[in-house]
Structure 1
Amino acid sequence: MEEKSQTVLRHVLETQFSDSHPRVDPHSSPEAGIFNKLKAAYDACMDEERLRTIGSKPLLDILRKVEKLFPAARPHSTSEPFPKLPHQAQKGLVYEGENQLTATVAYLASIGVDALVSFDVGADDKDPDSVVLTINPLRTTGLPSKEYYDDVDLVKSYSRTIGLVLEGLLLESNPNSTLHSTIGGRLSVNSESLVKDLVAFESKLAMATPSTEEAEDVTQYYNPRTLEETKSLLPQLSLQYIIASLAPPGYTTNRVIVGSPPYLEAVSSVLKSTSAETLQAYFVWKTVQHYAHRVDDSALKPLLRFNNELQGKDPDATEERWRTCVKVVDSGLGWILSKFFIEKAFSEEAKVFGDRIVSDIKAQFVKKLQKTEWMIHNIIQKIGYPTRSPDVRDPVVLQEYYKNVSITSTDFFGNAISIARFDVNREWSALGKPTDREEWGMSVPTVNAYYNPAGNEIVFPAGIMQAPVFYDPSIPQYLSYGAFGSVSGHELSHAFDSSGRHYDETGNYTEWWSNETVHAFKEKAQCFIDQYHGFTVPGADGEPLHVNGRLTLGENIADAGGLSASFAAWREYEEESPGELLPGLQGFSKDQMFFISYSNWWCGKSRKETAIDHIYRDPHAPIWARIIGTMANSREFRESFDCPKKEPTCELW
């Protein structure tokens, strides 16, 4: 399905507008206007010869601005509006108020680069119709997660990569520079010292970040604080300045959510013992990591090779350029691309069918959870594509939506900066306004789905609703219910899992379960925790690495509940309209084919390195465990295949 979606999008982007829309004026219509913006973004990405000619120049322009905002090698004049920086050899960044550290963090945030902390704007969990600013720990500090910093050999390789890239960029910027150079492929003493300090700084930040399990837990990350209270945690950073820089004019607040107070305190402590030179190198490196894929330059090859090795790929592996560019356009101009995708790949019949499946499964949840019928009926289902905020069918609306995004066919890097600024501005502009419950968090071609607890909504983009798995008039429905139906049930189950149970029918974070129910839930949930902890993947050292049963609990509960509800819904559908057995597969019953369809949906392979990364960071269990564990937890599966033991390993609802 992913492959089909990409191919459809490639066809859209490589076809002339006049060929696909012969009756539309290509010079004046809004539809032609938005298509041309898509085409320009794609063409700029595909022009590899131009990218090689330009090299790292646009990235270096950004890096010079970062260095100007946060100079490390010289003291500042007293006439500047910020306190003086200590000399690069001194320690102790203990500023208060608006300062160069804050200005640099704010600038990087404006172009989509997270440094020191991450800012998120969204619905307030305790007041979901209001929008609030959250200050969070970094999602990644440099390496994918804190566990990677314990691998001595990996950190050495990472450090060498940083040194080679920064020195390469320095030589690109100033070919006559002898300040930092490589000798026989080894870093000079000065560079080696700086990189060592930079990686040590990153490592300290990483060690201070909460575990993925804690970061996903609303009872841990929802910590309302006043600005003054937040300042006491991290006095070197002025939230007032950042809000004034990024929020809408006139917006004021004295309340933010702090994702992890201990993390902010740790950042403050680390800053007090970090030199300005190290911090400048850190800000530069964060920018390089974020925008390296937008530059074609030999100076960045060590980073691309390192990233490939980190993922278990051949160091010189490259993706077909058109695939890269389809993803780039979808991530930047996704709603425009969505319009042309649904024209090519999503019918009204499919949308109606999707609504039916989700409604059928809702009915099964009502039967299972009779006392929470009110909750289930309040779950909003969004199918296919958004018709508001924006309406992706309307070219005039889309033209207005993206009017401030500047795209040309000759400036790939500039397009990225414009899109980043647009995305940041759109996110921050929500402050001071009611929550827009019509917004979607995924573009239409995405092969995925999600449950949003603050909105109490389940969302199924058209990308996941494609033949033959989802909808095709020629296939029996046990295939659709086994795969897509189970996904639908999975998302519905999230409303009652370890995380969703904290939200009521309006998406408000509250404890609406009785103490007795919570106690019984935790007892049953422990079975899932223990079961999935028993699954392992080979670790980097060859020793078994266990699945985190607590981190994956919500997803494992949702898999079990979704499968059970979808099977019951399909059985009722089968009574009305019996499906036929597939040719060549008559040896399997329809019930068995339902479970084969579910398992085939998840079947796949992962590289060892990818599997390890998922254990550390992914709230989902490995895909093979999602098959084996979920089947073991399905009474219906055990009965369909006549297993000796019919009792499920774990069962919640």
Structure 2
Amino acid sequence: MAVFHKEEYREMCQNEDCIKTAARVMEAMNRSIDPCVDFYKFACGGWIAKHPIPQSQTSWDQLSLLREELLKNLRILLEEPEKEDDLKPVKLAKALYRTCMDTATVEALGLEPIFDVLKKVGLPRDPPLDDDIPPVNLARITGVAQRLLGLNILLNFYVSEDVRDTTRNRMMMEQVSPGFSERYLLDPQRFQSELGEYKKYITAMVQLAGAGAKSSDFADELLDFSTKLAQIMSTPEQRRSVNHLFHDVTINELQQLTDLHVQQWNWTDYIEAVFDNTNVTIDPSTDRVIIMDLHYLQKLPQLLAVTHPATVARYMWWSVYSTVAPLTLQKFRDLGFQFSQKVFGLKEKTPRWKGCTGNVNSNFGMALSYIYVQRHFNEHAREKALEMLLDVRAAFNEMVSELDWMDVGTRARAHRKLHAMRPFVGFPDWITDPKKLDKYYEGAEVVEGRLFETFLRLTNVGAKKSLNSLREKPDKDRWISTGTTVNAFYSAILNSVTFPAGILHPPFYGNGLESINYGAMGAIMGHELTHGFDDQGRRYDENGNLRQWWSDKTLEHYHEKVECIIKQYSNYHLPELGINFTVNGINTQGENIADNGGIREAYRAYQRLKARIPNQQALPGLAEYSRDQLFFLGFAQVWCGNYTNGALKSKLIEGVHAPNHFRVIGTLSNNRDFARAWKCRTGSPMNPPHKCILW
């Protein structure tokens, strides 16, 4: 006979979802660990022991497992024989998959596709080894690479909503990472082995292109120039700062700003190359561009002026060559694999079907969503998920009303922003309308047997669509993701939260028991809602406009509380990586604010649900745990995961998320409801007397 926890349960849940969830929860736990000492190890110890990292991955967690499941399901759909009544975009998706899997044809074409693209961009087919090279129009070549390949060399360019007035689109420009992470380039002592492997990779790649004995010098020169580019970039910490200003200027004004020290870059040439063969004609005297990193764009021409033209030519050539070569021959991909093996601990190559399925999903994600949701998602699940999201939002709204550090005016604007957030769940409705789906993929074509040519054509169609949007009104109801995505999103500019069908599966959702569902998916929903009020999102108003809507006094309180979170997470370190490998509390603050707020909102929403449905069922084998305890188990277990040291190091150096272990213990040790549910005494590791609480 089942022993129920304190009269909480009257019966056992025996349906299939509950039985699967119970088995999964029990298997993941390590009950020999004290939950008040390290809840992550208690909740995930079993999972970590039983789920080693697959050979072809550098990390493995619940998101990876679900992504694996999604890819397998998409593969089945893509390998099904083409039906006469398949929609055109679905036929194109299947044709792209077939073309991608046809490696024999890809190999037979050899290096020709690479030579062809280098020529189109205006670069030599062979690596430029001579120091005496004819002068080139750098701005134009960079613009052509952006237009043809969507490749950002030296700077990042795109069209998006004007951050100060989201009813219109603007050109945007910002700095761009120089090939290898600037974090590694700027600290050569600490990352000696990673940089050594990167040099080996460049050397081997240019040897394949015929650079011979000069390959090693070529690599040294590239690394040196990449480092100089990294030195003029703003750091991620600086870019997060409220003092990092955007500049709204005409192209002619931008020219004046970058010509202050040296005339080295013609912005009109660059922009005209980018907008070549589109509906847009640019007027440099009136068309405006938002500059997100003016310091970088002013320093760039100065750096180019003092760099030998041959070095710049080599960097340009390498940027294009290293992007397109892996799309052709296996030997190029093998070199990339060897690099990942040494730096990130990868043991096996990714199977071709997986890469191809991902490629098709990137290019035809909405078409795949159309067939995926028919087979793997139902309307009831969508309605229930939306109900949960609105529950969590209502809980957040209540919490904002109770904040003692927020003044009346700021509070009213916070409520307004929360109410205005657009909730998107499952998939966009329009994908079920064949006419609209056809229109979305207008102009897209697949040249069967010609993978590289297809890639260029699809890139061209996508780029053209994006560039043409400069003169169009932004669509506020657009999805920033496809339904076939295992993730969740907040968009500050759209003020929207998105939860695609891909993530609405166990262990995140559909667990048969609301305690687990609210702890897992509810906390993720709260996380995304809270992003609207993190250190970045809080700067945007309910319409997605960059605007200061906080009173000075409230902002002062806000910053004090954020500082507490920054310090807390900065104290987490990973001794297995060596000395000085700690979480970057500044760069992870947005995600940590979202994690901490998200779980509190979900818990409040769950308490409201419990009041509506008093006696919920118990999970088989877990009746000793209360519903609130299961809620926190549900939260922790979606973050169970394993990482190679290389992947962990990369996450720590470049990532905006803290490692999963710290996401769980950092969030729960700040949570009084957790301490109460699990009866952790004050002063125990999971219940410190001082807590960082913002939302």
Shorter-chain TM-score range: 0.7 to 0.9
Superposed CA deviations along residues 268-319 of structure 1, whole A, max 9, x for unmatched, are: 12211223322222122112332243122425533331133222213xx211
**SS of corresponding position for 1:404:** coil
Q: Distance in 2 between matches of 1:125 and 1:319?
A: 39
Deviations 1:554-589 (A, max 9, x none): 111111111001011111112222421210112211
* Structure 1 residue 49: Cα displacement: 2.3
Please name the residue that 1:376 is paired with: 418
Query: Counterpart of 1:465 in structure 2: which amino acid?
Result: L
Equivalent residue in structure 1 for 2:599, among 540, 545, 563: 563
Deviations 1:617-650 (A, max 9, x none): 2211111110010011111101100111265621
1:557 partner amino acid = I
Distance 1:284 1:337 in 2: 35
Q: Write out per-residue CA displacement over residues 509-554 of structure 1, whole angstroms, 9 at most, x where no aligned residue.
A: 11111000000011111110110001122476x2131111111111
Question: What is the aligned partner in structure 1 of residue 145 from structure 2?
Answer: 108
Q: Partner amino acid for 2:169? A: V
Kindly report which structure 2 residues correspond to 1:425-504, keeping only aligned pairs within 5 A, or say none: 425-471=464-510, 475-504=512-541
Amino acid at match of 2:201: T
Q: Which residue, out of 231, 256, 262, partners 1:207?
A: 231
CA distance in 2, matches of 1:395, 1:217: 45
Question: Do residues 642 (structure 1) and 666 (structure 2) align?
Answer: no
Corresponding residue of 1:21: none
- 2:68 aligned partner: 3
What residue is the counterpart of 1:609 in the other structure?
A: 646
What is the aligned partner in structure 1 of residue 461 from structure 2? 422
SS of residue paired to 2:469: coil
Deviation at 1:66, TM superposition (A): 3.9
**Using a 3 Å threshold, how does the CA distance of structure 1 residues 398 and 246 change in structure 2: closer, same or farther?**
farther
- Decide whether aligned partners of structure 1 residues 51 and 250 sit closer, same or farther in structure 2, where only a CA change above 3 A counts: closer
Give the one of 106, 112, 116 matched to 1:57.
112
Cα distance 1:538–1:294, how it changes in 2: closer, same or farther (>3 A)? Answer: farther
Task: Give the stretch that moved more between structures: 157-166 or 549-558.
Answer: 157-166
Query: Does the residue aligned with 1:546 lie in a helix, a strand or coil?
Result: coil
Residue 326 of structure 1 and its aligned partner are, at CA, apart by: 0.9
The residue that corresponds to 1:320 in the other structure is 351
Q: Count residues with an aligned counterpart.
A: 600
Offset at residue 421 of structure 1 (A): 1.5
1:277 — aligned with what? 310
Note the 1:506-517 alignment, pairs <5 A: 506-517=543-554
| Aligned-pair CA distance for 1:377 | 1.0
| Match among 316, 319, 325 for residue 286 of structure 1 | 319
Aligned partner (choices 164, 169, 193) of residue 204 of structure 2: 164
| CA distance in structure 1 between the aligned counterparts of 2:465 and 2:379, rounded to whole angstroms | 30
Q: Does 1:339 align with 2:370?
A: yes
One-letter amino acid of the counterpart of residue 475, structure 2: D
For 1:242, the equivalent position in structure 2 comes to 270
Structure 2 CA distance, aligned partners of 1:52 and 1:37? 22
C-alpha contact 1:70 1:100 (8 A) present in aligned 2: no
Distance 1:67 1:435, change over 3 A: closer
Q: Between 348-357 and 372-381, report the one with greater CA deviation.
A: 372-381
Question: Larger relative CO (CA 8 A, sep 6+): 1 or 2?
Answer: 2
Please give the per-residue CA displacement for 1:383-426, whole angstroms capped at 9, x wherever unaligned: 11123xxx211222222222312213311111211222222222
| Contiguous gaps of at least 5 residues in structure 2 | 1-65, 402-410
1:117 counterpart residue number: 155
TM value normalised by structure 1:
0.87
**Matched position secondary structure for 1:225:** strand
Matched residue type, 1:3 = E
Between 1:261-270 and 1:585-594, the stretch displaced more is 261-270
SS of the residue aligned with 2:179?
coil
Following superposition, the deviation at residue 503 of structure 1 comes to: 1.1
Cα gap change, 1:239 to 1:637, in 2 (>3 Å): same
Aligned to 2:669: 632
CA distance in 2, matches of 1:41, 1:191: 35
Tell me if the contact between 2:365 and 2:482 (Cα under 8 Å) persists in the aligned partners. yes
539 and 121 in structure 1: CA distance in 2 versus 1, 3 angstrom threshold = farther
Larger mean Cα displacement after TM superposition, 205-214 or 39-48? 205-214
CA contact (8 A) 2:159 2:169 kept: yes
Provide the C-alpha distance between the structure 1 equivalents of 2:585 and 2:649, rounded to a whole number of angstroms: 15
- Give 5+ residue unaligned stretches, structure 1: 19-25, 75-86, 94-98, 171-179, 182-187
The superposition leaves residues 188-233 of structure 1 with CA deviations (integer Å, 9 ceiling, x where unpaired) of 1x33333322221111111222212333456525222332332232
Aligned to 1:185: none
Comparing 286-295 with 198-207, which one deviates more in the overlay?
286-295
| Deviation at residue 616 of structure 1 after TM alignment | 2.0
Q: Distance in 2 between matches of 1:166 and 1:565?
A: 53
Instruction: Label 1:168 to 1:67 Cα distance change in 2 as closer, same or farther (>3 A).
Output: farther
CA distance in 1: counterparts of 2:649 and 2:680, whole angstroms: 32
1:120·1:136 contact (CA, 8 Å) conserved in 2? no
SS at match of 1:43: helix
Secondary structure of the 1:506 match is coil
Give the TM-score normalised by the residue count of structure 2: 0.82
- Contact 1:144/1:613 (CA < 8 Å) preserved in 2? no
Distance in 2, matches of 1:10 and 1:16, equals 12
CA distance in 2, matches of 1:562, 1:258: 33
Please tell me the residue identity of whatever aligns with 1:312.
G
Q: Distance in 1 between matches of 2:670 and 2:418?
A: 23
Aligned amino acid, residue 137 of structure 1: Q
